[in-house]
Amino acid sequence: MNRVAEKRVRLKRRVKRVRHQIRPKRIRALRPRLVFNLSNKYIFAQVIDDATGKTLCSAATNEKSFALKGKNKEAAKQLGEVIAQRASEKGVKQVVLDRRGRLYHGKIAAFADAAREKGLEF
């Protein structure tokens, strides 16, 4: 297996491990999951209710209304504020952060701190 394929396999393993830790059955019905995902160009966030399998709200840095394009820390911070505002409009106060196997620092930490400042609890 080449180096890129090994990295993908390791990431999938971490994603599975993190999701298993944050999704026990007793929490699944109580709190939706706040998913943070990075692509090569943009940052995406979704609030997903796993009990019904529906996306409650979403935000991304590639939206036309989004001021900062790209995937730097400032864009992650602004995205955290936007997703917290949209979640509070839907009546969601408590979530579980799904960091998709990434380490909690840099962009993810900036995103989470901004979402907490705007009222989301996790």
- Tens digit of pLDDT for each residue in 67-76? 777 779 999 9
Mind giving me the DSSP string for 59-73?
A: EETTSTT-SS-SSSH
pLDDT at 89: 96
Share of the chain above pLDDT 90, in %: 62
Q: What is the pLDDT of residue 83?
A: 97
> Mean pLDDT for the chain?
89
pLDDT (0 to 100) of residue 101: 84
pLDDT of residue 16: 87
pTM for this one?
A: 0.83
Give the number of residues written for the chain: 122
Q: Which residues of 40-68 are buried (b: 16+ CB within 10 A; e: fewer)?
A: eebbbbbbbbbeeeeebbbbbbeeeebee
Query: Token digits for 115?
Result: 């979402």
- The residue ranges of the chain whose pLDDT is under 50 are none
